[in-house]
Every structure is written in C-alpha cells, then in structure tokens.
C-alpha cells in the first residue's frame, strides 16, 4: 500500500501544486480512504505506512531531517528527542511533508526557519495534525454565548489533536474563535492551561513503540555487546555492587573469550563481586531462551546470579524467612505463601505468552510490567530479587523479539517511585517508565542505522 499511495500523492502534488493545507487534507482523505481521520493522528503509524523509518537523536540546531530512499536505504527521518513530545509529533508530520513533496534530496530542518520549503512543510504539518474542518467542529463544541472559546478550555483541543497549547491557541485565533490577540504576556500567564494540555507520555510513547522498525542485532555485534555491558553495569550498580563500567566491560569481554580460565573469573569468584559474572550468565541464558519463564526457570535465574557465591547452596530456592523491602508500602509475601503466589504469577506469564502474537508491543509491555511489579512484591528470594525481577521482564521481552531494558543508576529513584505508585494500583507511571526504557534500548541498539544517517549529516549535527 505504502508505495502506491506515496507515488499517487507525489504525482497529485506535481500536477496541482496544492497549497499545504489542501495537500494535507488530500493526504488524510486518501490515507483514511474517505473516512473521518482518527484523532490524535497516529503520525508514527502514518510514517510506517508510507515506508518512512524514524530515528530519534539529540540534535542541537535541528528539529529533524529527511533522507530520501536510495538503492541501499529506505526513506528515513531524524527527530530531535530533546524537544517536547508535541513538537516531536509535529516534526514527524513536517518530515512526512518532505517525503511526499521534497523527496529528491536530503532536507535539514533547522529551528524557526523561514525557508519557503520549510514553511510549506510546517503548514502541511499543522493542517495534517489539526485539519481545519475537524478542528472547527471541535472548537464549536467549546463556544460560549458570544461564540468564542475561553482559552482555559483550549487545552481540551490539545488532547483531541495531540498538539501543543501554543499551536491550538494560534489556530483558534486564526479561525476567529478568540476574543483577543494572543501575545507573549498571554502565553506567560496561561502556564496552567499549557500544562493541562500536554500530550500524555503514555499515549505518545505507545504510538512510537508500536510502529518502530527495530532491527535485532547479532549477539556478537559490537553494538549489542556494548549494550549488554551497560545493562550489567547499571543493573548491578542500582543494587549497590561497586564495579565501574570500564571494569564491567573488561570482565565480560575477558569472560567471553577465556571462560573460566579468565583472570577475572578467579579474581571475582573470590571477591565480593562474583554477582557481576553471575549476572552476565543470566543474560546469556535468557537470550537463548525459547520457552517462557516458569517456576524452575525463575529459581534457575536466582541460582545463576549467585553461581560463584560461597553460599550458592542456599540460592535458587525461595526464602524461608519474612522480609521487608525498605520504604515499601506493603509487606512482602509471607514465606508460606510464596509457592502459591509464584504459581499464580507463572499462570499470568503463561497467559501472556499465549497472547504474544495478538498484542501490540505496548499492550504486551504493559502486562509484562505488571508481572514485574508483582514479582517485586512477592520478593521470593533472600537476595537478588531486583535483578531476577528485571531478568524475568527481559526474558518476557525477548520472547516477543524485543531488546532488554535496563535502569540507569541515575533513574533509580524514579524507578522506586513508580513501583510505589503501582503498589497503590496506579500502573500508568510504571508503564510509561518502561516504555521510555524500551525506546531507549531501541535507539541504543539501532545506533548503527542512525550512524548511517548521521554520516550524511555529520557536518551539521
């Protein structure tokens, strides 16, 4: 569908040289096959359907960039991840404009450009995300007796269209729905409404993740190995294991080459840092796993984590004593009930595995995260609960061909906070937290692809 639609829209533009607004509406009409569009426009789905790959990068002077398809590469865009979510959505719509109109060469999209090509793409994007016909219809529902819209109500339109408060206000003004001219002072005073109008992280992130083209890496690829080192380093660091990143990378590389003959193996096995080695074993195990985690698999993870521990005999079984997580709202499961709770947890895992092909990535992640949270509450082991809980989550991700996620040491507080919120049955923040981590893993592991794009733009990024 993508190629056909792309070429028919491209020739439509060439023939008629439509205005940006008209062209955006033609794109929507054709894409939605004459039916009313679904709002907010899922711009990431549109990009995917039009055959455009997207990548996020931290850019200093650009909102984004467009690179046309070539013999070797598909069409691709870069989006500045440092900008607010609404702006990133707008940039994607803007780049789609380039893909349909300016597809003969690469385009760079600097901040606040007055270039006519950029202005066209901006106007196209504004109309694509907030088509005037539908915008007017929604704005009329908010009108007061004088047929104007109270700017304090305008944030509702931000939610409908997924656009920024500023963009909504200007559009209301242009269509005659405001009784005043918005100026700087107005926007300064409208902070509360602006805040209310922010796109919800979770919806935005789900759209990105569900349409992302992720390329799994070979387990020996340098990017994958680097990622694995980061994961082991951070995952241990948040548990207080003191081995820095450089050392972690050295240990893991040495182990991979020399196995138990490695100098580090001997050194670490005797010291307090054997967990780093055990941790890397866990991930080797998970990355080969085909079956879903069950009771035996969970016990195996714990035993593997401590496989070089002098107390290995006591590992790999559920705890016999009561235990409390520091700062947690609710007590962990009583030792006598652990078997039963793990049994139910494994039933949930089994059900999730059974539905893995029908769930979207974000839908799957949401259920996997709930299992992760439940695991932290049961806290079945005397030691290593956090790392095993995250390993179970990563195991579940692997079964859906997704990369593992890890929590950087700097994010530990946020992680604890969102787990605590989940204890109060509020899972949304925990979900958003892991959606971000998954996106970060995508970006890190697909770096090679970004580097291709970066080569092209190396002089300006």
CA angle 212, 217, 222 (to 5 degrees): 125
Query: How far is CA 262 from its chain centroid?
Result: 37
- The distance of closest approach from Cβ of residue 106 to Zn ion in the complex, given in angstroms and rounded to an integer, is 10
* Minimum CB distance to Zn ion, residue 173 (Å): 24
Q: Between 115 and 313, name the residue whose CB sits nearer to Zn ion.
A: 115
Q: How far is the CB of 400 from Zn ion (least distance, A)?
A: 34
> Considering only CA atoms, which of 417, 431, 459, 314 is closest in space to residue 368?
431
Q: What's the min distance (Å) between Cβ of 80 and Zn ion? A: 12
**Nearer Cβ to Zn ion (109/391):** 109
Q: How far is the CB of 63 from Zn ion (least distance, A)?
A: 7
Q: Enter the DSSP assignment of 59.
A: -
3-class DSSP state for residue 66? strand
Distance of CA 169 to the CA centre of its chain: 29
Give CA angle at 444 (442, 448), nearest 5°. Answer: 100
Q: Which is nearer to Zn ion, 77 or 361 (CB)?
A: 77
Choices 105-113, 167-175, 251-259, 429-437 (CB under 5 A): range interacting with Zn ion: 105-113
How far apart are the C-alpha atoms of 407 and 27, rounded to whole Å? Answer: 40
Whichever of 79 and 238 has its CB closer to Zn ion, that residue is 79
The one segment of 21-29, 102-110, 182-190, 216-224 that binds Zn ion by CB under 5 A: 102-110
Least Å from the CB of residue 89 to Zn ion:
15
Is 315 one of the binding residues for Zn ion (CB under 5 A)? no
Cβ distance to Zn ion smaller for residue 123 or 429: 123
Which of residues 113 and 132 has its CB atom nearest to Zn ion in the complex? Answer: 113
Q: Among residues 121 and 205, whose Cβ is nearest to Zn ion?
A: 121
Paired tokens of 150? 């109270």
Which residues, 229 to 258, sit near Zn ion by CB under 5 A?
A: none
Of the candidate residues 109, 169, 352, 392, the single one contacting Zn ion (CB under 5 A): 109
Pick the stretch among 5-13, 44-52, 101-109, 364-372 that binds Zn ion (CB under 5 A).
101-109
Q: Considering beta carbons, is residue 118 or 275 the nearer one to Zn ion? A: 118
Q: How many residues bind Zn ion (CB under 5 A)?
A: 3
Question: Closest Cα to residue 404, out of 258, 283, 255?
Answer: 283
Smallest separation (angstroms) from Zn ion to the CB of 31: 20
State the DSSP code for 317: S
Instruction: Using DSSP, state whether 243 is helix, strand or coil.
Output: coil
Piece of 112-120, 137-145, 229-237, 362-370 that binds Zn ion (CB under 5 A)? 112-120
Q: Judged by CB, which is closer to Zn ion: 35, or 112?
A: 112
Cα separation, 372 vs 392, in Å, equals 7
CA-to-CA distance for 170 and 295, rounded, in angstroms?
Answer: 57
CA angle 320, 321, 322 (to 5 degrees): 135
Q: Which stretch binds Zn ion (CB under 5 A): 40-48, 73-81, 113-121, 200-208?
A: 113-121
The Cα 413–Cα 436 span in angstroms is 15
Binding mask 114-153 for Zn ion (x = CB under 5 A): ----x--x--------------------------------
Identify which of 305, 303, 254 has the alpha carbon closest to the alpha carbon of residue 280: 305
Q: Please identify, using beta-carbon distances, which residue of 75 and 205 lies nearer to Zn ion.
A: 75
Min CB(100)–Zn ion separation in Å: 12
Find the part of the chain contacting Zn ion (CB under 5 A) among 108-116, 145-153, 333-341, 428-436.
108-116
Cis? peptide before 284, omega within 30° of 0? no
The least CB distance from residue 66 to Zn ion, in Å, is 7
Helix (H) or strand (E) holding 233: helix 222-237
Contact predicate 26/12, CB 8 Å? yes
The angle subtended at Cα 392 by Cα 390 and Cα 396, nearest 5°, is: 115
Residue 180 structure tokens? 């005043």
Site residues (CB under 5 A) for Zn ion?
109, 118, 121
């Amino acid at each position: 569908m993508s190629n056909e639609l792309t070429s028919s829209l491209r020739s439509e533009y060439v023939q008629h040289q439509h205005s940006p607004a008209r062209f955006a509406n033609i794109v929507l009409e054709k894409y939605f096959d004459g039916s009313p569009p679904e709002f907010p426009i899922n711009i990431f789905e549109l990009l995917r359907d039009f055959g455009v790959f997207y990548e996020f990068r931290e850019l200093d002077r650009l909102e984004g960039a467009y690179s046309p398809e070539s013999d070797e590469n598909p069409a691709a865009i870069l989006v500045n991840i440092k900008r607010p979510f609404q702006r990133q959505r707008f940039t994607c719509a803007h780049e789609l404009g380039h893909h349909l109109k300016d597809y003969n060469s690469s385009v760079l999209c600097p901040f606040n450009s007055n270039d006519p090509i950029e202005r066209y793409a901006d106007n196209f994007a504004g109309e694509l995300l907030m088509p005037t016909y539908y915008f007017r219809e929604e704005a009329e529902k908010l009108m007061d007796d004088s047929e104007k819209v109270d700017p304090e109500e305008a944030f509702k339109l931000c939610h409908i269209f997924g656009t920024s408060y500023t963009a909504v206000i200007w559009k209301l003004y242009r269509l005659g729905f405001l009784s005043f001219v918005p100026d700087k002072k107005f926007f300064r005073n409208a902070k509360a409404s602006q805040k209310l109008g922010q796109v919800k992280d979770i919806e935005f992130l789900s759209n990105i993740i569900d349409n992302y083209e992720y390329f799994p890496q070979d387990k020996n690829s340098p990017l994958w190995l680097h990622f694995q080192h980061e994961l082991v380093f951070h995952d241990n660091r948040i548990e207080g294991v003191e081995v820095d990143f450089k050392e972690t990378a050295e240990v893991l590389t040495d182990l991979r080459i020399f196995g138990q003959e490695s100098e580090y193996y001997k050194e670490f096995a005797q010291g307090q840092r054997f967990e780093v080695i055990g941790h890397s074993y866990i991930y080797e195990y998970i990355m080969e796993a085909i079956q879903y985690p069950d009771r035996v698999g969970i016990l195996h993870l714990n035993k593997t984590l401590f496989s070089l521990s002098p107390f290995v005999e006591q590992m790999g079984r559920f705890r016999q004593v009561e235990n409390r997580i520091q700062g947690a709202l609710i007590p962990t499961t009583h030792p006598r009930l652990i078997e039963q709770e793990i049994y139910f947890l494994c039933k949930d895992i089994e059900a999730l595995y059974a539905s893995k092909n029908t769930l979207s990535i974000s839908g799957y992640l949401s259920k996997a995260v709930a299992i992760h949270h439940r695991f932290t509450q049961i806290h079945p082991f005397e030691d290593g609960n956090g790392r095993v809980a995250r390993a179970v989550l990563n195991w579940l991700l692997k079964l859906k061909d997704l990369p593992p996620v890890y929590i950087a040491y700097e994010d530990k507080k946020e992680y604890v906070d969102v787990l605590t919120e989940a204890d109060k049955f509020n899972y949304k923040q925990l979900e958003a937290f892991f959606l971000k981590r998954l996106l970060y893993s995508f970006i890190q592991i697909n770096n090679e692809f970004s580097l291709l794009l970066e080569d092209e733009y190396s002089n300006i990024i």
